[in-house]
Structure formats: C-alpha cells, structure tokens
Amino acid sequence: MLLYIHFPFCASKCAYCDFTSYAGCDEALVFSYLTALKREISFAGERFPNARIDTVYLGGGTPSLLSPRRIENLFAHIAKSFRGYSPCEVSAEVNPDSATEDRLAAFAAAGVNRLSMGVQSFSDDNLRRTGRIHTADGAREAVARAKKYFDNISLDFIVGLPYDTASIVKSELDEAGGLVPHVSVYELTLEEGTPLARDAEEGKVWLPDDDETAEYLEIAVDTLAEHGLERYEVSNFARRGAECRHNCGYWTREEYVGLGAGAHSLVKSAADGSPLSAEIRFASPKDVNAYIGGVNCVETFDDVPRVEMSVLSESEMRAEEIMLGLRTREGIREELLAGRDTSRVESFLTRENGRVRLTRHGLAVMNSVLAELI
C-alpha cells in the first residue's frame, strides 16, 4: 500500500498554484490540523491492520515549514500506527527557502530517504514573477545542504514561464541534471482564478505559446538524457534506480490511502486484507476547518466525511489503466486495446512483446492520443 500525507500550509501562495494549500501558518490552526491528521492516521492504521506500507509521501503545501520536532513526531506516529510499516521509500516535499539545516537533519532522522524540492526555475525573473520566495542562488544553496543528508533528491521545474527561452530552459536543466538523479519537468498550466491566469487574460504578462512550450519540453528530454536521466514518465526523468516508487505506484494503480485535507485514496481491500468486490475512490474535504471538524467528530476511518466518492466500474478501471500506463516507459498490456479502433493513432504507438507504448512524438501529443483510445 502507498501512503500519502498532506500538509497544506505554505509561507505564501504562488501565482500559478491551484493545489490544496493555504498561505500563512497560523499556529493555532496548524496545531489543530496536525492533531486531526494524527487522529486520522491512527484511524487508518486500525482500518488497514494487515497492510504493508511500501512507500510514504509527505506532500503539500510546504512540509518543510514543519519544525524539526513536529517532523520527528509526525513520522514516529505514522510508524507506530501501522503494523506493516516497512517502506522502501519515504519522500518529503521541501521548498528551498525552508529547507534549513535543522529541518533536513530532522527529515533524515525520521526515516525520510528521498526529497522532492520545488525549485521551479533557476531564473530569478521567473521566480519573482510567479511569486516564489526563494532565489536561484538560494535554491542552489538548498540543494547543497540537502546533499549532506540525502542521495536521492528530485528537483521540480516548470517550463513555459514568462521569461523562459530555449537557452534558459537548456541552461537550467543542464545544471539540474548535473546536480541530482531525478528531475520533474512540468508544463505551466494556467488554472482559472489564479493570479497568473488573471494577469495573462488581462494582458499583463507574456507567456510562451504552445509551440514554444512544446519545444522547451523537447529540450528538457534531450538535455536531461545527456546526464543519464531517462524519461520514465511523461514529466519525470531519472537515472536507473532513482525513479519515484511512490508515483510509479499511482501510475500502475496500486492501492493508496491519502490522509489530510484534500488527499485522495484508492481503496481495494477490506479490513482483513481481502479484496473488495469493487474499488472505491474518495477524497477528504479541501477546506482545512471542514477536514478538522470531520475527523474530530468520528471514531473510525470509514466514518470520516469524504467527498468525490465513487465505486469504479470495470470500464472505468480499464480506462484508467490505459490513461496512466501510457504515460510511462513501461506502457500498457496490449490486450487493453483489444476491440478499440487504434487506426487514427497507430503512428504514435509502438508494440513489442505484448506491450504498447507511446512514441516520443506520441508523448508530445498524449492527450489527443488518449482521447482517441478512451
């Protein structure tokens, strides 16, 4: 089983962010949230007593805003709540500005063995324009600090930012590929209602067009490959052995439980470990106060208020397997496409040893290909 833990608080809200996160860390609210979170963790341990926890991912928000003591207490509580706690990978998200020496040491002492750092850009102009509060040099210093405690570090980057050019993208990913064994590269998405989306709509900011952003993604593939970082998923690049096992579990539809505000779960097993007759997907409320109140008024995991709950049909599970699998280097089982007309997208597919994968060009137009297949 995969275990995801969400800490939704940030020092400030980035201009492009539409995630479940809240700017500012009111101490009383953070305390109440962590108390409720630990309560839900205990509930989950009781609900899944036979589960073997293979990976843990602490995401946000900005988990590196937690104090060293809270970091250690949170992971200690997770470990004692699950009898089958033996993860091979424990990841934590950090931001450069809050990845201090004492917090990094606390993460390592708590059993974290993989960091995901939200650098986003090595351009100070891009960082300022998107509301990031660290500088490019600050990010470099944070990476240097992190390497004292961790070998497995991933850096997140966004392409398609206001000041991006082909040379800037090439330069920053060339630098990143020489620093760490894993890099994630995401295309900027303008989410409705975010400050950056409003500025773009009002003509207050220039953004690269779709063709330019597509070019930047191709530059990313080639540049990171020069450093031995292979593209193992549409947005993720790693040296062999440094792939994120937790995220790979999502893409192969392993059972996962998400705890905290806005966290999602895919439950396949009953309390005794036997498979359920149907898979269930659900999420927790995004609103922090609603989440806290919901957890505090019940006594079991199954009674925690949920949103977006659905029982997946066979066709939905099949569609998900296609959609998620084709994102990856491994692709999907060829029989999943049996009975589907693939003639319009066959040139974007490769077939070998019973597996179907997207070509490099197919990955570049993945959404269009999937629309034909699902």
How much is the pLDDT for 16?
78
pTM of the complete model: 0.95
- Specify burial of residue 37 (Cβ count, 10 A radius: 0-12, 13-18, 19+): buried
| Type of residue numbered 356 | V
Q: Is 108 in contact with 149 (CB distance < 8 Å)?
A: yes
Task: Give the HSE-up count for residue 3: Cα atoms under 13 Å, Cβ half-sphere.
Answer: 26
Q: Which residues of the chain have pLDDT under 50?
A: none
CA-closest candidate to residue 157, choices 143, 147, 264: 143
H or E segment to which residue 57 belongs:
strand 52-60
Residues in the chain: 374
> How far apart, in whole angstroms, are the C-alpha atoms of residue 237 and residue 117?
14
How many other CB atoms are there within 10 angstroms of residue 354's CB atom?
10
Q: Which two tokens stand for residue 34?
A: 């962590």
DSSP 274: P
277-293: string of b/e by CB count within 10 Å (b at 16+)? eebebbbbbbbbeebbe
How much is the pLDDT for 189?
85
| Type of residue numbered 87 | P
How much is the pLDDT for 201?
83
Q: Is 142 in contact with 122 (CB distance < 8 Å)?
A: no
- Specify burial of residue 268 (Cβ count, 10 A radius: 0-12, 13-18, 19+): middle
DSSP 6: E
How much is the pLDDT for 250?
98
Q: Is the dihedral of CA 124, 126, 127, 131 positive or negative?
A: positive
Q: Is 322 in contact with 332 (CB distance < 8 Å)?
A: yes
Q: Which homologous superfamily is 2-248 in?
A: Aldolase class I (3.20.20.70)
H or E segment to which residue 166 belongs:
helix 166-179
H or E segment to which residue 362 belongs:
helix 360-364
> How far apart, in whole angstroms, are the C-alpha atoms of residue 54 and residue 228?
27
CA-closest candidate to residue 343, choices 323, 373, 364: 373
Q: Is the dihedral of CA 162, 168, 170, 174 positive or negative?
A: negative
> How far apart, in whole angstroms, are the C-alpha atoms of residue 175 and residue 186?
17
pLDDT in tens, 301-310: 999 999 989 9
Which residue intervals of the chain bear CATH 3.20.20.70?
Answer: 2-248
| Type of residue numbered 288 | V
How many other CB atoms are there within 10 angstroms of residue 303's CB atom?
12
- Specify burial of residue 336 (Cβ count, 10 A radius: 0-12, 13-18, 19+): middle
CA-closest candidate to residue 116, choices 176, 59, 36, 191: 59
| List of residues 6+ apart from 233 with CB closer than 8 A | 247, 248, 251, 327, 328, 329
Q: Which two tokens stand for residue 15?
A: 């201009």
DSSP 17: -
